[in-house]
Structure 1
Amino acid sequence: MARQRWQGLTVMSVNAKKEPGYYGDGGGLYLRVAPGGSKSWAFFFNMHGRRCEMGLGSVKDKPLAVVREEAHRCRQFLSEGIDPIAHRKAQRQSAKDAVQKTRTFSECAIEYYESHRTSWRNQKHGKQWIDSLITYAFTIFGEKNINDIGKADILAVLEPIWVSRHETAVRVRQRMKAIFDWAAARDLRTTQDAHLWDQITRSLPRTKDLRKPKHFAACPYSQVAAVIQTIRACGASSSIRLAMEFTILTTARTGMVRLAVWSEFDMEKARWTIPAPRMKAGVEHRIPLSECALEILRERARNRPLKDARPTDLVFPPPGESRTVI
């Protein structure tokens, strides 16, 4: 009598199986029928002397033809000495890592802003920093994966404002670059061209050929004395008049003079030392004082109450406001 050939499972037999148990299809692939009637696929194999079972999913989700392909790939892994269960776990972890490394431009910008905001001395600057990106960049590619942003996207942000609002455009470009570098350091942006920003700059018009900067007119040296006489006769408070004259004599920024405190001055050495935290560049700055500048300080000292004088007192306090910097 001829031996009947075993043909494995068919679609009809898979649907017909009701009794709990395992039904082989060959090559380690089995149909598993649970006591409750649910059906799933399982792949059995030997690895390092151990019998292993690998679930391949539900029959409802994967038809017989599909799961046979999966079992075939598993057998290929085994022929190469690869554990198919470990390989699948590695793939899932890799996919999970890829999702975790996916960020939109707006997400990266906000993370960068939050991590750097405490290092900015000026809160107003910090607000302008993120607001400029919200206004110009977020509207173009804020919700786009930062890894997919290309030259055309960047130019779409910069070109409309490059001439009309050039200073703003330059700042936006610098801030976008900072965010792209931050993302690249975290492997969130892996496709950036090393020549990206050089090409962006070359593709934009040279603004110095399109518009000339407008500077405030400087006071001629021959008229400085007349300006000082005008300041002295202007009727402003003593503190304001002397602060304006002191600014002219020291060529300091107005903010440096307004916030100057007595501890910064050495009257014997005729020197004003502005500490690094008060300087824009973050470097200590020393200014020699002329006799006229020293006389202004002496006058301010004569008008300063001695009973509560402190080194932190402002030299030129605004009228009606506290004299002390805390």
Structure 2
Amino acid sequence: MPKMVKELTDAAVRKLRHGQVKGDPKVRPEARKRAPGSPCVAYHPVGGVSGLMLQCRPPTGGAEIGARSWILRTMVGTRRRDIGLGGYPDVTLSMARQKAREAKELIAQGVDPVADRKARRSALLAEQAKAVTFEALARDFVEKKAEEYKTAKQVQKLETMLKTYAFPHIGRMVVGDIERAHIIAMLSPIWKSKTETATRTRMYVERILDLGGIRGLRTGDNPARWKGNLDHEFADRNKVTKVQNYKALPVKELPDFWRKLRTREGMGARALEFLILTAARSGEVRGATWKEIDLERRVWTIPADRMKAGKEHRVPLSAAAVALLEAMPRESEYIFYNRNGRPVSDVTISKVPKTLGCQVTAHGFRSTFKDWCIEYTAFPDEISELALAHVNSDKTRAAYARSDAFKKRAQLMAEWERYCQGLARPSAEVVSIEARG
């Protein structure tokens, strides 16, 4: 029959301390091998529940009292277990006795309290691991996709789109809690007014939620899926809005526009002039730096990370383009800069045609250039496509990106310069390349 232990009171428990090696019956046998009088851990039975003890450790770090905690020493199956019930005095005597009774009840039911506690903790950690917000998962998605994108501008566009249209609605939501209604609320305000943006937003949200499913952060169907899901809620994007092309200046009006542009002062006008002469994109011109320019060889080399196609692009510079660059001040690393030394804005360039009475866009001049190439020259289409950095076919590049491709493009840009300046008549009669000699 087990020895009965007197039930201690709260006052008695507060007085319990660590033990000493010298013949203390509450000290474990292995501790008695130490020098007599050495402080050691002591286990004090407190009664009320068999096996319930207060573990008292020697003080450390100059403290008066060592750490004290509750231990339930009992049999679990065929093994004796010391089950921790919490620290004292955070866990009071009455609380410790209640916890001990609950542990013994579990044992009586065939449940190991320690194993049960570990299982509950694992389940809690698993649930916490799933509590990832959409914004956190989206940022991880963008970081990984950035390695696939060709330019930093593409990454910035994706981040801006998510921040503007997705995060305000579902950014703080746990990935597993996002439902179809949340996606509809996110897309509804912009589906008709900004259909293309809404479409792209939906597409990337779907991919991000797919990533959440792969990581076990959510289960069930993807609420951002289009087919068989959101297509029942929103009208087809092709029927909601029509594709709007950039407004371009008619080819025959270009020489007159050029004369007006040359009289215009300002960094925006010079940037637009350079854009027209090179048939480059606005972003490529605005970000152009002096280190990309070789005036002696008359070439502008745009690095791959600034190109839409993700490949380095060489632009032959005509005489007028070189003269323009030579006249530009060099007060910044950028050729076309604002008062802060940073690249001029897209608005600065785009507003120039409007001040000259033309409702066209800066990007539209690339279309004007292409129309001129088709209507007024005999250059192969692939040459003008290379000039516009449109060619993506490896076979086409292999055929035209040889040493003479740059020379042909240089000839093309020289003729384009002459046309802009009104030195070549706007006739659809073209002369073959071979006839030029």
Q: TM-score range by the shorter chain?
A: 0.5 to 0.7
Which of 302, 321, 338 aligns to 1:274? It is: 302
Question: What is the CA deviation profile of residues 165-219 of structure 1, one whole-angstrom value per residue up to 9, with x for unaligned ones?
Answer: 32342343244335434544544x1315369524445333212212223334322
Partner Cα distance (1:193, 1:133) in 2: 19
Partner of 1:294: 318
User: How far did 1:124 drift?
Assistant: 7.0
Which residues in structure 2 correspond to 1:4-153 (within 5 Å)?
18=7, 30=50, 32=52, 42=72, 44-45=74-75, 50-54=79-83, 58=95, 61=98, 69-73=105-109, 75=110, 85-106=114-135, 108-109=137-138, 121=152, 125=157, 126=159, 129-138=162-171, 142=172, 144-153=173-182
- Contact between 2:202 and 2:224, CA under 8 Å: does it hold in 1? no
- Contact between 2:85 and 2:96, CA under 8 Å: does it hold in 1? no
- Contact between 1:267 and 1:294, CA under 8 Å: does it hold in 2? no
Partner Cα distance (1:121, 1:135) in 2: 24
Unmatched segments (≥5 aa) in structure 1: 1-5, 7-16, 25-29, 78-82
Which of 211, 228, 236 aligns to 1:206? It is: 236
Which of 223, 241, 258 aligns to 2:253? It is: 223
Partner Cα distance (1:158, 1:319) in 2: 37
Which residue identity lines up with residue 147 of structure 1 in the other structure? G
User: How far did 1:153 drift?
Assistant: 2.3
Greater relative contact order (CA < 8 Å, ≥ 6 in sequence):
2
Which residue identity lines up with residue 300 of structure 1 in the other structure? L
- The 1:43/1:190 distance shift into structure 2, 3 A limit, reads farther
Partner Cα distance (1:323, 1:33) in 2: 73
* Secondary structure at the counterpart of residue 45 of structure 1: strand
- Contact between 1:23 and 1:31, CA under 8 Å: does it hold in 2? no
Partner of 1:264: 292
Task: Check if 1:156 corresponds to 2:185.
Answer: yes
User: How far did 1:149 drift?
Assistant: 1.6
Which residue identity lines up with residue 163 of structure 1 in the other structure? K
Partner Cα distance (1:31, 1:47) in 2: 15
* Secondary structure at the counterpart of residue 310 of structure 2: coil
Which residue identity lines up with residue 72 of structure 1 in the other structure? A
Question: What is the CA deviation profile of residues 218-265 of structure 1, one whole-angstrom value per residue up to 9, with x for unaligned ones?
Answer: 222222222222222x3325x655543332233211232233344434
TM-score where L is the length of structure 1: 0.62
Q: Cα RMSD over matched residues?
A: 4.7
Identity %: 28
Partner Cα distance (1:72, 1:84) in 2: 10
Task: Check if 1:253 corresponds to 2:281.
Answer: yes
User: How far did 1:269 drift?
Assistant: 6.4
